[in-house]
């Protein structure tokens, strides 16, 4: 994930992952989620440009 999402957004992600895994029989207590957030300056997209300098053409709600 790209760095910058709110704690509420992360909570929603975690809850969704746990809920979907539980639907296929994985107990919530057996689920561990590791979120690795990459700063935009450490990610290149659309060629050699840092993601922090790229206009995506749409709003990213974080």
* pLDDT averaged over 10-residue windows placed end to end, the chain, 62 residues: 84 96 98 92 88 79 62
Q: Which residues of 9-34 are buried (b: 16+ CB within 10 A; e: fewer)?
A: eeeeeeeeebeeeeeeeeeeeeeeee
**Per-domain residue ranges of the chain:** 7-53
Which pLDDT does position 62 carry in this prediction?
A: 61
Q: What is the pTM of this model?
A: 0.71
């Amino acid at each position: 994930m790209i760095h910058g999402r709110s704690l509420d957004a992360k909570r929603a992600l975690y809850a969704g992952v746990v809920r979907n895994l539980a639907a296929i029989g994985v107990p919530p207590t057996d689920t561990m989620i590791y979120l690795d957030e990459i700063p935009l300056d450490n990610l290149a997209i659309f060629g050699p440009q840092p993601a922090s300098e790229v206009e995506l053409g749409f709003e990213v709600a974080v």
